[in-house]
Amino acid sequence: MSESNKMAGGMTGINRAILIAAFVLLAAAIGYAIWRDSAGDSASAAPEAVAAPSDQLAALEARTRKEPNSPDAWMQLGAARFDLGDFGGAATAYEKAVALSPDSAGLWSALGEARVMASDSDPMPAKALEAFDKAIALSPKDPRARYFLAVKKDVGGDHKGAIADWFALLEDTPQGAPWEADLRRTIEQVGAIHKIEVAARLAGTRPRPLTADEIPVAARAIPGPSRSDMEAASQLPKGQQDVMIQGMVDGLETKLKANPADVDRWIMLMRSRMTLGESAKAAQALKDGIAANPGAAARLKAQAQLLGVPGA
């Protein structure tokens, strides 16, 4: 019996909780997602100038028909479908992307994540594992693939092995990485569930120092929806919340149109898009930022990887 068949039907509440944590692991959006999802119909109050998700999706689908050999087009469609909860559709688009760009670890790990989330019964499908293995072969440090391969150990019963792998990922996690808090929370939860002591080790674990390219622009005073901004927005009437957040992002884009050479603002736009759960738009911001600043491509890509932008 294959490993995936052994795990079939094993989507327990514990496993689902771990996979949901993985769903937001690289999005840096858990705070926004909580209050956005509780905001009822507030999304209808967003500015009319903002395209509806269905319109944005239609535009991306049209692009793949126009540019069927563009891995970037398929990647952005996959990210958009993932953002909308269409995990099977996301996987299909990512499959097209990796066929055209098979050397991208980020695309392979994004495909693996989509395949996991598309599965209703098997917590770690064989095809998802195949994608994560390809990502690791290309980039042994890929954080998403490492996280999910540890999830495989956990759902397979090797809880200590999973925790050890998550600790190893935590040790390699750069200071300020958006997934650090969620990774720590996962370690705490799995440790508590299986009565494995992790508190002392967590207390003694510190994120590694940043490289020059990884210095977090998100921490600087550049306008954009930070967690404190989102907390403030949550105190507003529900109909005003999305308007406030969208206004911040629109302000960033306006400044970039006036000064596309401002690399920090491109990074902040990527961060803002990821915070809003708009990973396809974050990927477009990366592409546009590099086009406007080819000399800063390495820095933009490093920051995009830090933020979990698909395809970075």
Tens of pLDDT, residues 255-274: 888 888 888 888 888 887 87
Give, in order, the Cα–Cα distances in Å from 248 to each of 27, 253, 254, 275.
18, 9, 10, 12
72-127 pLDDT per residue, tens: 889 889 988 888 889 999 999 999 999 998 988 888 999 999 999 999 888 899 99
Measure the CA–CA gap between 4 and 152, rounded to whole angstroms: 10
Long-range contacts of 161-168 (CB under 8 A, 24+ apart): 162/190, 163/187, 163/190, 163/191, 163/196, 163/198, 166/190, 167/201, 167/205
- Per-residue burial over 18-49, b = 16 or more CB atoms within 10 Å of its CB, e = otherwise: bbebbbbbbbbbbbbbebbeebeebbeebeee
pLDDT attached to residue 255:
80
pLDDT of residue 40: 30
**Percentage of the chain modeled with pLDDT above 70:** 67
- Give residue-wise pLDDT tens across range 150-170: 999 999 999 999 999 999 999
Beta-carbon count within 10 A of 236 CB: 13
State how far the alpha carbon of 152 is from the alpha carbons of 18, 160, 304, in Å: 10, 12, 26
pTM of this structure: 0.60
| Residue 53 pLDDT | 62
CA quadruple 46, 179, 176, 190: dihedral positive or negative? positive
Structural domains in the chain plus CATH codes: 3-307 (1.25.40.10)
Residue type, 40: G
Helix then strand then coil, % of the chain, to nearest 5: 70, 0, 30
| pLDDT of the residue at 210 | 58
Instruction: Please tell me which residue, 6 or 121, carries the higher pLDDT value.
Output: 121
C-alpha gyration radius of the chain: 19
Interatomic CA distance for residues 52 and 220, integer angstroms? 31
Q: Look at residues 105, 107, 87, 83 and name the one whose alpha carbon lies nearest to residue 97.
A: 107
**Is-contact 308 274, C-beta < 8 A?**
yes
- Model confidence at 217, pLDDT cuts 50, 70, 90, reads very low
